[in-house]
Amino acid sequence: FINTNFFSFLHRLTLFIMGAYKYMEEVWRHKQSDVLRFLLRVRAWEYRQNNVITRVSKPTRTDKAHRLGYKSKQGYVIVRVGVRRGGRKRQVPHGMVHGKPKHQGVNSLKFERNLQSLAEEKVGRKFSNLRVLNSYWINEDACKKYYEVILVDPSHKVIRNDPRINWIANPVHKHRELRGLTSSGRKGRGLRKSGHRANGIKGGSYRAAWLRRNTMRLKRYR
């Protein structure tokens, strides 16, 4: 026999002793709740009135931003960006592909990368003097998905003197969002796997794995 009242009491007790960020995480986890549905609907209207790429003073999801490396201090910037949802239509005039029937598809094509990676790319091109650290989902409506991107200023002395983040000031991290080095970029490249499931991406990517297996290597003297 299971006493349901006891379990409901434990659940209320857990909610009572949760910290602020944990409470925010639980709220954002239940996106179908009345509170969040109302908030998201109102905010989506607000986002539609603003520019597609807008700098904001503080993150919408404070807990998520801090989990992804954001610090509330100088040198960190939060930018909101909206990207069009859906597949990628082939960019040809009047839908005419002057080629073989194999390449005549126009509408049912899908972009190779995910929309979050595309949002990071748009922000990285706009704020070219900053480095993209990470990003997270905040909202979506019928036509767009909205993300907030965490940017870091590599020239700021606060960033350069912080041993936890000054790695991003190295020249090798310029436009890391364009090279698939952010979290969403690595996910799009299939690099979230490990162990035997990652056999197809050994060596950095599936292209590198394919090239290694299909290249003939012969000794010079044989």
Residue partners of 34: CB distance under 8 A and separation at least 6? none
Whole-model pTM: value is 0.85
What are the pLDDT digits (tens) for 190-211?
Answer: 888 888 888 888 888 888 999 9
Average pLDDT for 63-74? 96
Average pLDDT for 54-71? 96
Most confident of 11-20, 44-53, 94-103: 44-53
Rounded Cα gap, residues 40 and 210, in angstroms: 44
Vertex 92: Cα angle to 88 and 95 (nearest 5):
90
Burial (CB < 10 A; 0-12, 13-18, 19+), residue 118, is buried
pLDDT at 125: 96
pLDDT at 7: 65
pLDDT at 206: 87
pLDDT at 15: 62
pLDDT at 18: 76
Average pLDDT for 13-36? 85
